[in-house]
């Protein structure tokens, strides 16, 4: 392996040094800026200890880069790492579930990128990151992976299908790119303009450290006595907040593109910090369509893909189709990208018995809160009534929003009060089900059902208070999975 093994790009070193500096900037300022030249013995000891810590980390970064080597041979990635003790890792490319690429501003400056292969394994062994590599090397790694996947498909096909595959080039179909109107909707729906508030507060506190703002506050207080000045200030602040929201949304969701080919789904986004995520269609275990209360009012929805492996970086929302699609477009896109899935608009609602049990089911949170109020502050008794009204309002909303449907090999659950979630999966993708009944549910002829799908972590979806007849039908439906089960 040593002969043809490669290291990550040398800029991996400054990349890690920057992360080290960013993670310890508070201690550096406290120890070496604010307490520079301090005569206190404990401060000198802290400065020396922290300096040793920094030097060790710098050396460790250099040595880790030098000892980390990788090589692809016969469809398998071989990795050697370790400073004092060597560790060896092998990952067959056919085990890779998803591919994620991210290009931050740092990467862009030096024409580099990062690539992550994600497997179905749990823990640190589940991902295979190449944090700093050239774009050419990223293309080579992706090419090796793609060729391995295509080879697997060809091996399963007949000779006639192989010839057809060789003659027809794989083409991507672009399903969605946001318009200016979509960006405007996203900026208001995401409430990104509210992010300006902590930024302004931070700037104010920073200026207060250098400038005495007490006199300025008095001057501004006199100005704000005039109604027209207040109006101008409010309009100006609103315009700045809206502009900030639009710009930040455009930076985050700019260059957004959802596309697919016969085997994979591709999601790209980001203007400054670019990210790209791809997932095999056959690895999609379920689809989740969620709506917050604001999105419901605007008729928008967010579609998430639940994968057998890790579904990308949660912070980057790489496994999410554009989070501000119209509800009809969201349904249509699921069916267009994943022809094996079908979203049924009409579903069955819960029975009246389910409504009764939800009204009778005790709220232990409310009971404990009421006891605490009565014991510590009886004068605030009205808070208990307000809390009880909120709890029952949410229960009523959840009852009205809850739906379910069995449709051949598909199952759909919908639940939620202020935020609703529609879950769709195939019988062959469900690895386990649970049907349970509490004593109260037995009195009303009800049960709770749950599906469990492969993901990282394992994905649980539960629907409470369905009729016992439907629970039996659900159980019978699942036992027929052997007819179309897929071994992955």
- The pLDDT tens digits for 260-311 are 888 888 888 888 888 888 888 888 889 999 998 888 888 889 899 888 655 4
Of 209, 228, 253, the domain-final residue: 253
Instruction: Enter the tokens of residue 242.
Output: 């809206």
Structure confidence by residue, pLDDT tens digits, 125-183: 678 889 999 999 998 888 888 776 655 554 544 454 444 444 445 578 888 888 877 77
First-last CA distance in the chain? 30
Percent of the chain, pLDDT > 70? Answer: 81
* 465 pLDDT above the threshold of 90: yes
Local confidence band at 404 (pLDDT 50, 70, 90 cut-offs): very high
pLDDT recorded at residue 148? 67
Q: Are residues 391 and 474 in the same domain?
A: yes
- Minimum mean pLDDT range among 44-58, 94-108, 232-246, 415-429: 232-246
Mean pLDDT on 215-243: 66
Whether the bond into 457 is cis, omega within 30 of 0:
yes
More confident call, 338 vs 197: 338
More confident call, 317 vs 429: 429
pLDDT recorded at residue 297? 85
Q: What is the CATH number of the domain that holds 431?
A: 2.30.29.30
* 323 pLDDT above the threshold of 90: no
Q: Are residues 137 and 247 in the same domain?
A: no
More confident call, 479 vs 210: 479
- Residue identified by tokens 């275990």 is 285
Instruction: Enter the tokens of residue 251.
Output: 């930076």
pLDDT recorded at residue 358? 93
322 in a domain, yes or no? no
pLDDT recorded at residue 249? 75
Instruction: Enter the tokens of residue 124.
Output: 């640190």
pLDDT recorded at residue 403? 92
436 in a domain, yes or no? yes
How far apart are the C-alpha atoms of 130 and 157, rounded to whole Å?
33
Q: Are residues 38 and 73 in the same domain?
A: yes
303 in a domain, yes or no? no
pTM of the model: 0.72
Q: Are residues 16 and 146 in the same domain?
A: yes
Parent domain of 202: 181-253
Sheet holding 420-426, edge to edge: 325-326, 300-307, 284-291, 420-426, 410-415, 403-407, 348-349
Q: Are residues 206 and 143 in the same domain?
A: no
Q: Are residues 187 and 52 in the same domain?
A: no
* 192 pLDDT above the threshold of 60: no
302 in a domain, yes or no? no
Local confidence band at 356 (pLDDT 50, 70, 90 cut-offs): very high
Report whether 301 contacts 307 (CB < 8 A).
Answer: no
Q: Are residues 350 and 416 in the same domain?
A: yes
Per the structure, the count of domains in the chain is 3
Q: Are residues 147 and 203 in the same domain?
A: no
Q: Are residues 462 and 377 in the same domain?
A: yes
- Minimum mean pLDDT range among 101-105, 107-111, 182-186, 452-456: 182-186
How far apart are the C-alpha atoms of 334 and 340, rounded to whole Å?
9
Ramachandran area for residue 361 (φ above 0: left; ψ -120 to 50: alpha; else beta): beta
338 in a domain, yes or no? no
324 in a domain, yes or no? no
Q: Are residues 383 and 237 in the same domain?
A: no
Question: How many alpha carbons fall within 13 Å on the CB side of residue 57?
Answer: 15
**Burial class of residue 235 (count of CB atoms within 10 Å of its CB; 0-12, 13-18, 19+):** exposed
Which of 100-109, 242-251, 310-319, 479-488: highest mean pLDDT? 100-109
Of 116, 133, 166, the domain-final residue: 166
Q: Are residues 212 and 358 in the same domain?
A: no
Which of 182-186, 212-216, 338-342, 425-429: highest mean pLDDT? 425-429
Of 218, 253, 288, the domain-final residue: 253
- Across the chain, what does the average pLDDT equal? 81
Cα radius of gyration rounded to whole Å, the chain: 28
398 in a domain, yes or no? yes
- Residue identified by tokens 């593109």 is 257
* 317 pLDDT above the threshold of 90: no
16 in a domain, yes or no? yes
Q: Are residues 160 and 33 in the same domain?
A: yes
Contacts of 60 (CB under 8 A, 6+ apart): 83
* 478 pLDDT above the threshold of 80: yes
Report whether 488 contacts 96 (CB < 8 A).
Answer: no
Question: How many alpha carbons fall within 13 Å on the CB side of residue 8?
Answer: 28
């Amino acid at each position: 392996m040593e002969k043809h093994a490669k290291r990550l790009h040398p800029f991996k070193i400054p990349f890690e040094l920057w992360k080290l500096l960013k993670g310890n900037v508070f201690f550096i300022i406290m120890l070496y800026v604010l307490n520079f030249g301090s005569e206190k013995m404990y401060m000198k000891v802290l400065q020396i200890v922290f300096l040793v810590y920094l030097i060790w980390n710098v050396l460790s970064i250099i040595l880790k880069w030098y000892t980390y080597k990788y090589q692809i041979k016969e469809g398998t990635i071989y990795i050697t790492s370790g400073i004092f003790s060597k560790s060896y890792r092998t990952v067959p490319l056919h085990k890779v579930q998803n591919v994620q690429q991210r290009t931050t501003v740092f990467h862009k400056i030096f024409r580099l990128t990062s690539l992550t292969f994600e497997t179905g394994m749990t823990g640190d062994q589940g991902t295979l990151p190449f944090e700093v590599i050239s774009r050419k090397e990223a293309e080579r790694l992706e090419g090796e992976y793609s060729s391995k996947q295509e080879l697997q498909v060809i091996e399963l096909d007949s000779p006639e299908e192989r010839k057809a595959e060789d003659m027809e080039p794989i083409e991507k179909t672009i399903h969605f790119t946001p318009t200016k109107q979509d960006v405007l909707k996203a900026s208001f729906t995401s409430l990104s303009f509210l992010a300006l508030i902590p930024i302004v507060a931070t700037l104010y506190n920073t200026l207060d450290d250098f400038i005495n703002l007490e006199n300025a506050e008095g001057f501004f207080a006199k100005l704000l006595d005039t109604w027209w000045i207040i109006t101008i200030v409010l309009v100006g602040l609103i315009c700045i907040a809206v502009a900030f929201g639009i710009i930040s949304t455009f930076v985050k969701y700019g260059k957004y593109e959802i596309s697919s080919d016969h085997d994979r789904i591709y999601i790209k986004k980001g203007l400054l910090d670019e990210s790209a995520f791809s997932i095999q269609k056959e690895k999609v275990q379920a689809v989740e369509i969620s709506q917050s209360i604001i999105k419901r009012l605007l008729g928008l929805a967010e579609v998430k893909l639940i994968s057998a492996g890790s579904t990308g970086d949660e912070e980057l929302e790489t496994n999410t189709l554009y989070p501000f699609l119209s509800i009809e477009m969201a349904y249509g896109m699921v069916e267009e990208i994943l022809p094996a899935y079908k979203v049924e608009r009409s579903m069955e609602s819960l029975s009246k018995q389910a409504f009764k049990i939800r009204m009778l089911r005790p709220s232990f949170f409310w009971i404990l809160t009421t006891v605490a109020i009565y014991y510590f502050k009886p004068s605030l008794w009205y808070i208990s009534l307000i809390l009880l009204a909120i709890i029952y309002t949410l229960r009523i909303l959840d009852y009205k929003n809850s739906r379910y449907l069995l449709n051949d090999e598909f199952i759909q659950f919908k639940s939620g009060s202020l935020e609703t979630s529609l879950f769709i999966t195939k019988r062959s993708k469900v690895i386990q089900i649970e049907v349970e009944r509490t004593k109260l549910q037995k009195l009303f002829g009800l049960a709770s059902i749950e599906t469990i799908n492969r993901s990282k972590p394992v994905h649980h979806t539960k629907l409470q208070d369905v009729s016992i007849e439907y629970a039996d039908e659900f159980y019978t439906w699942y036992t027929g999975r052997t007819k179309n089960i897929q071994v992955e």
